Amino acid sequence: MSSEQYFPGLEGVIAGETAISTITGGLEYRGYGITDLAEQSTFPEVAYLLLHDDLPNEEQLADFKAILDESAEVDGAIIDLLRAIPLHVGAMDVLRTGISALGHFDPQVDENTTSANIAKTIRLLAQIPILIAARHRLRQGLSLVLPDPGLSFAANLLFLITGKAPTPVQERAMDVSLILYAEHEFNASTFTARVVTSTQSDLYSAIVAAVGALKGPLHGGANERVLEVLEEVASPGNAERWVRQALASKRKIMGFGHRVYKDGDPRAVILRNYCIELARKAGDDSLERIADTLERVVREEKRLPPNLDWPSARLYKYLGLEVDLYTPLFVASRVVGWAAHVIEQTENNRLIRPRSKYTGPATRAYVPLDERG
């Protein structure tokens, strides 16, 4: 009997070391609890933390924001490329292509030092919102909007997409969602980035590969499926009947359960409060009542708490964002977490090359071609 152990999906397997984040005992970024960061920080502070090991002081944050503002420009050739891609192509596919194209215009693309990778990451942080917004507005037949250096990162992101400066509540809700999505240990897309990096490939290749992993509906694409569920239910009065029928037919309801958080995703709790506030501001809490009913029944019947995708779909809906923007917005945040892992992997690299469990035929004798029946 083989002594080799097999863990489907690598569940529970420790595949490496990281000082960037932990989900043991609650999510922390470099030792700072996610609740404290969401309540007291801004996304640029958190981005700086992930890249530089600690929170910035006022001068460091001002310098970081200044570099972000200076980097918020995309070569016109890339905008032309986005314009040329057929309209039916999905937003994540276009963003993946756009990020790859950014690498062709980056003067440090082949430099693999820590300082160069941090510089490239800052440029990506500034440029990815432009790619997302440009493709969205081109599809809508709208003119492109230039970044406003007077706005915060979160406010600019919404401004680039909608053409309107957000309210303070909308701005803060977006900012918190960016903080919550920024990093999450060895998830599928982050592990993908580290695998690519372990071959000594470049940061852009790792980020593009991570985008490909995030696109899947079992990872970043889940929040898009969540909104489809809420819209299918349609009204609070239909919610309980719908969810019980869905569970009885063994239908998977996206937005519930997590490979790691068995007792609940702390990020979902934080974002739910912003959903409630935005629904109140809008004067329509029907989505919240639908969500509350579905959440209650799924908890009762399946013992599955909601994950971050559950409230984020509603949050983006309240912010007036179309569903095909949801996963690209995930990229706008998570790129800094991916990059932090690329840098960490580069600084202490070992090629990631696991083994597999073979399930094919036993050893067979070769049969020459003319003897095969």
Contact assessment for residue 34 and residue 46, using Cβ atoms and an 8 Å cutoff: no
What integer pLDDT is reported at residue 25 of this predicted model?
Answer: 84
Catalytic residues: 258, 309
Residue 352 in domain = no
Residue 367 in domain = no
Using only C-alpha atoms, the chain has a radius of gyration, in whole angstroms, of 22
Domain count, the chain: 2
Same domain, yes or no: 177 and 120:
yes
What integer pLDDT is reported at residue 1 of this predicted model?
Answer: 42
What integer pLDDT is reported at residue 264 of this predicted model?
Answer: 74
Q: How far apart are the first and last CA of the chain?
A: 35
Same domain, yes or no: 254 and 180:
no
Residue 282 in domain = yes
Same domain, yes or no: 167 and 306:
no
What integer pLDDT is reported at residue 356 of this predicted model?
Answer: 92
Question: CATH code at 230?
Answer: 1.10.230.10
What integer pLDDT is reported at residue 218 of this predicted model?
Answer: 84
What integer pLDDT is reported at residue 2 of this predicted model?
Answer: 53
Residue 361 in domain = no
> Mean pLDDT for each 10-residue chunk of the chain (373 residues)?
75 90 93 97 98 98 97 97 96 98 96 97 98 97 96 98 97 98 96 98 98 92 87 94 95 81 82 96 95 94 90 95 96 98 97 94 97 92
Residue 236 in domain = yes
Same domain, yes or no: 47 and 61:
yes
What integer pLDDT is reported at residue 265 of this predicted model?
Answer: 86
Same domain, yes or no: 177 and 57:
yes
Same domain, yes or no: 109 and 94:
yes
What integer pLDDT is reported at residue 65 of this predicted model?
Answer: 97
Same domain, yes or no: 237 and 299:
yes
Domain end among 302, 318, 334:
318
Q: What is the pTM of this model?
A: 0.93
Same domain, yes or no: 208 and 330:
yes
177-211 burial string, b = 16+ CB within 10 Å, else e? Answer: bbbbbbbbbbbbbbbbbbbbbbeeebbbbbbbbbb
Same domain, yes or no: 27 and 136:
yes
Residue 360 in domain = no
Question: CATH code at 80?
Answer: 1.10.580.10
Same domain, yes or no: 253 and 191:
no
Domain limits at 298?
222-318
Same domain, yes or no: 274 and 331:
no
SS3 content of the chain, % helix, strand, coil (to 5): 60, 0, 35
Same domain, yes or no: 90 and 39:
yes
